[in-house]
């Protein structure tokens, strides 16, 4: 006997062990997210995927789907909350989209468009963050890190390494690399590692590849992030 939940009044089937995010994605329902990736253990750090389940706010990427759940995803309240979270991500870092190599391919930028974020709302923090270009093939621009931990999980769970970690809290939070020197060149990361490609922003970039795809011909220049996300995640699950 199949099991189901409802999302915004629509019946969505699920399989035992699926999260609300997984069930929604399989059914073609987009729930905004930045830290979620179907290949890795869910983390629930960005809170963009917060939904209301039977009146309770939960992270869709970590909360299991259960029979009889009434899930609200597309409400004005949740949209407003997600927009505020996205605005805070922009002001807490140094995200200057027109000059960023990742523009047009950046998930943070695409989510902002999806949520109709028209301004930063909050004053910019302008934190003092460094660029680590010490590695021959990979670089880190700490100005663009949103602490989603995707690189941490990819390095551990896919690459079989332990290159990255997150340390500190609040304004002191920062991305660490596993080297006594603190430099990327002294880690065992390679340009072929998934951790070098998983970043949703322009914080981790492959050198010598900038602007090979011109602005205007990039992923989100032609497709909305909900369409891209559903296509990508369902293809990875063989749907």
Q: What is the pLDDT of residue 235?
A: 79
Q: Which residues contact 2 (CB under 8 A, 6 or more apart)?
A: 13
Average pLDDT over residues 28-50: 96
Q: Where are the beta strands (DSSP E) in 1-117?
A: 3-7, 10-14, 50-53, 56-59, 70-72
135 within 8 A of 103, measured Cβ to Cβ: no
User: Is the pLDDT at 114 greater than 60, yes or no?
Assistant: yes
Average pLDDT over residues 188-200: 98
Q: What is the pLDDT of residue 232?
A: 87
User: Is the pLDDT at 237 greater than 80, yes or no?
Assistant: no
Q: What is the pLDDT of residue 1?
A: 54
Instruction: List helix spans (H) across the chain.
Output: 20-26, 76-92, 107-114, 150-157, 219-222, 225-236
φ, ψ for residue 72, nearest 5 deg: -110, 125
User: Is the pLDDT at 44 greater than 80, yes or no?
Assistant: yes
Mean per-residue pLDDT of the chain = 95
Name the pLDDT band for 233 (thresholds 50, 70, 90): confident
Average pLDDT over residues 209-217: 91
Average pLDDT over residues 141-152: 97
Average pLDDT over residues 34-61: 96
User: Is the pLDDT at 196 greater than 80, yes or no?
Assistant: yes
Average pLDDT over residues 18-46: 96
Within its chain, how far is the Cα of 147 from the centroid?
A: 9
**Residues of the chain with pLDDT > 70: what percent?**
98
Name the pLDDT band for 238 (thresholds 50, 70, 90): low
Domains of the chain, each with CATH number or no CATH: 3-74 (3.10.20.740), 102-222 (3.30.70.20)
Average pLDDT over residues 207-232: 94
User: Is the pLDDT at 22 greater than 80, yes or no?
Assistant: yes
């Amino acid at each position: 006997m199949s099991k189901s939940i409802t999302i915004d009044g629509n019946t969505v089937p699920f399989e035992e062990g699926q999260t609300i995010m997984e069930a929604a994605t399989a059914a073609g329902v987009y729930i905004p997210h930045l830290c979620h990736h179907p290949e890795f253990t869910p983390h629930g750090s960005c809170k963009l995927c917060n939904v209301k389940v039977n009146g309770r706010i939960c992270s869709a990427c970590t909360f299991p789907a259960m029979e009889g759940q009434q899930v609200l995803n597309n409400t004005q309240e949740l949209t407003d909350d997600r927009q505020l979270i996205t605005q805070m991500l922009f002001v807490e870092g140094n995200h200057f989209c027109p000059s960023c190599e990742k523009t047009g391919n950046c998930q943070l930028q695409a989510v902002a468009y999806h949520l109709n974020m028209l301004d930063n709302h909050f004053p910019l923090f302008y934190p003092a963050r460094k660029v680590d270009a010490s590695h021959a093939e990979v670089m880190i621009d700490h100005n663009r890190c949103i602490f989603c931990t995707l690189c941490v999980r990819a390095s551990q769970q896919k690459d079989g390494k332990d290159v990255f970690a997150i340390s500190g809290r609040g304004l002191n939070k920062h991305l660490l690399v596993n080297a006594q020197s603190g430099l990327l060149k002294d880690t065992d990361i390679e340009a072929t590692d998934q951790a070098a490609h998983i970043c949703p922003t322009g914080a981790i970039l492959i050198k010598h590849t900038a602007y090979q795809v011109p602005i205007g011909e990039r992923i989100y220049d032609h497709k909305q992030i909900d369409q891209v996300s559903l296509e990508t995640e369902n293809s990875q699950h063989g749907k």
